[in-house]
Structure 1
Amino acid sequence: MQTLMFREAAEAASVVAKQFSDTAGEVSALAAKLKAMKPRAVITLARGSSDNAATFAKYLIETRLGILTSSAAPSISSVYSAKADLKETVLIATSQSGKSPDIVTALQAAKEAGAFTIALVNVIDSPLAQSADIALPLCAGPEKSVAATKSYLATVAGIARLVAAWSEDHALATALDGLPDLLAKAWGLDWSAAVEKLLPAKNLYVIGRGVGFGGAQEAALKFKETCAIHAEAFSSAEVRHGPMALAKDGFPALVLSQNDETRAGMLELMEALSQSGAEILLSGFADPRATVLPSLEAHPVLQPILFLQSFYRLAEALSRAKGLNPDSPPLLNKVTETL
């Protein structure tokens, strides 16, 4: 019997196709508005998987638009009730449910402080969506498994679509047209070789960089949630500062490498990991020192999205192999309402 996580992750291709079709006009109009606004900064607002998608947004906005992008700390407004001057800024809130009180409060506070607020949200009649100046639906449909999958992929796809239009990146926009088909292919890739390698693992690193770092954060979160593995995400640069001391004697490291300017650093890291004796799992390119997990050729911005689609199938299989239920991780709820 298939788990909810398996079925929902498998829907990502159709979800993204529906989102692109249903929201094309809204995205185009919003991109035109943002171009006219010329904001001095962008603020992201999110928790959990949605915050990992916000990391993707930061790298994409800063590299494609050159606009400083920073993550908001919700407690600044929800707990400390501190005020800020956010005139000429854009706040992008990402959420599946749109119900967490601290995220709603932070968006409302940002709006009062002068920010133009956008919500990318799956529940379009949620408090977050109703509070924002503009709400873009993720179109993911009901997601019942505690572990977010299709809603994460819908969020990063929506972010990429908006930034492509905003920055007038025609190559990225054209590549995004093929994303639904690529997601369907990525779901069919066989990452089962990693299940046997990771079955005894209690700790591991997930390594990415640049636009791929948010995906590494998301994979690490899913390892914790669904597989009861203490996983930490690092960039290929940051892992060399301290954390590398643990990456020896079979310590597992999942390396996700899109084919862009970050590849040279990943190749250097592969040498260091190999010399230290780490157990390397690799997707993005081939290397004889690693267990290579298959990947697709695609625009570098799309590759981290495709990695996660294949990864979700791995995480679901690993969870079941460990005798766990990926749909109902202990001590977690689908909607986490923090203050």
Structure 2
Amino acid sequence: MTTHMRQEINEIPTAVSRLLDRQGPSLRDAGLALKAADPAFLVTIARGSSDHACHFLKYAVEQYAGRAVASIGPSLASIYGKSLRLNGAAAIAVSQSGKSPDIVAMTKSARDAGAVTIALTNTLPSPLSEASDHAIDIQAGPELAVAATKSYVSSIVAGLAMLGEWTDDVDLARAVRDLPETLNRALALDWSPLQAALDGADSLYMLGRGPALAIASEAALKFKETSEIHAEAYSSAEVLHGPVALVGKKFPVVGFASRDAATASTVATLDDLARKGAAAFVTGDGADAAAELPAARTGHPLTDALALIIPFYGFVEAFSRSRGFNPDAPAALKKVTETH
């Protein structure tokens, strides 16, 4: 029997196509609003996989729009009753359900403080959309598995589409338009060689830099959610400053490299760990000692990074089942967590 999670992974290219087809005007309006506001900086408001989507967009905005981006703890408004001076800023809030009280409260606070607010949500109308100046329906459709997949990818695609409009980046806009076809190819990529390296392991590292670090963070969360294996994400630079002490013989390490300026250093780190005996894998080209994992080429560094999550999702769903778990319903987790 095919799990809901596997079905939803397979639906990602269609969901992205639906988003781009149906939300084109809204995405353009949000991008033009950012251009008109010319924000001095941006803040993001999210939790869980949605926060990992924001982490990806942070690197994208900082590299391609030249604005600093910071993540705001939603409890600042809901628990501590505080507000920030956000006049001249923009805020992006991401929530699949659009109704988590702390996300909604922080978004309202940001708008009241003078920020241009944009909501990325799978539910319209919703309290979050009503609290925002602009609301994008990410069009992921029903997502029944507890572990988010479609909504994570669609949230990032929505953010990249807005960024392309904001910055008049025709190369990024083209890469985003081509994503459904590229992601469909990525579904067929085989990461099963990881299976043997994880047999008997109870912990592993996921590494990356820039947008690929956000992918590593999402991948680590999915291992915890679906397979009850301890995974931690680190910058491929920071891992050498302490966490590397835990990397012994056959310790699994997966590096996400997206054919950008950080690829060479990430691949070098994975090669070094492999030479020290780690079970090291990397998606970048040119590894000497680490095993290479296949990745889809998109023609743009940002969409290259995003496409890395697709074969990983397919792998972790199968890995979860191989360990006797149900990836649709991880123990002690529920689909919507309404945090106050």
Question: What is the TM-score of this pair, normalised by structure 2?
Answer: 0.97
Which residue of 2 is the match for residue 233 of structure 1?
Answer: 233
Which residue of 2 is the match for residue 275 of structure 1?
Answer: 275
Give the CA deviation at 1:128: 0.8
CA–CA separation in structure 2 for the residues paired with 1:85 and 1:19: 33
Which residue of 2 is the match for residue 112 of structure 1?
Answer: 112
- Aligned amino acid, residue 231 of structure 1: A
Q: How does 1:195-206 map to 2 (within 5 A)?
A: 195-206=195-206
Give the CA deviation at 1:19: 0.4
Give the CA deviation at 1:30: 1.8
More deviation, 282-291/243-252: 282-291
Contact residue 195 and residue 317 of structure 1 kept, 8 A = no
Contact residue 199 and residue 318 of structure 1 kept, 8 A = no
SS in 1 for 2:102: helix
CA–CA separation in structure 1 for the residues paired with 2:20 and 2:107: 25
Which residue of 1 is the match for residue 261 of structure 2?
Answer: 261
- Aligned amino acid, residue 159 of structure 1: G
Give the CA deviation at 1:248: 2.0
More deviation, 262-271/96-105: 262-271
More deviation, 126-135/217-226: 126-135
Which residue of 2 is the match for residue 242 of structure 1?
Answer: 242
| Cα deviation digits, residues 123-159 of structure 1 (max 9, x gap) | 1112111211110010000001000001111111111
SS in 2 for 1:173: helix
Contact residue 271 and residue 290 of structure 2 kept, 8 A = no
Contact residue 199 and residue 322 of structure 1 kept, 8 A = no
Contact residue 248 and residue 273 of structure 1 kept, 8 A = no
How many residues are paired up?
339
Contact residue 94 and residue 119 of structure 1 kept, 8 A = yes
CA–CA separation in structure 2 for the residues paired with 1:288 and 1:261: 19
Which residue of 2 is the match for residue 181 of structure 1?
Answer: 181
- Aligned amino acid, residue 243 of structure 2: P
Which residue of 2 is the match for residue 284 of structure 1?
Answer: 284
Give the CA deviation at 1:286: 4.6
Which residue of 2 is the match for residue 295 of structure 1?
Answer: 295
| Cα deviation digits, residues 160-192 of structure 1 (max 9, x gap) | 111111111111111111100011110111111
CA–CA separation in structure 2 for the residues paired with 1:270 and 1:4: 33
CA–CA separation in structure 2 for the residues paired with 1:107 and 1:245: 40
Q: After TM superposition, where is structure 1 displaced by more than 6 Å over at least 4 residues in a row? A: none
SS in 2 for 1:92: strand
Which residue of 2 is the match for residue 133 of structure 1?
Answer: 133
SS in 1 for 2:334: coil
CA–CA separation in structure 1 for the residues paired with 2:274 and 2:96: 39
Q: How does 1:91-110 map to 2 (within 5 A)?
A: 91-110=91-110
Which residue of 2 is the match for residue 76 of structure 1?
Answer: 76
SS in 2 for 1:302: helix
- Aligned amino acid, residue 118 of structure 2: I
Contact residue 43 and residue 70 of structure 1 kept, 8 A = yes
Structure 2: gaps of 5 or more residues? none
CA–CA separation in structure 2 for the residues paired with 1:150 and 1:326: 15
**In percent, how many aligned pairs have the same letter?**
42
CA–CA separation in structure 1 for the residues paired with 2:197 and 2:74: 38
Which residue of 1 is the match for residue 317 of structure 2?
Answer: 316
CA–CA separation in structure 2 for the residues paired with 1:122 and 1:113: 25
Which residue of 2 is the match for residue 222 of structure 1?
Answer: 222
More deviation, 140-149/20-29: 20-29
Question: What is the TM-score of this pair, normalised by structure 1?
Answer: 0.97
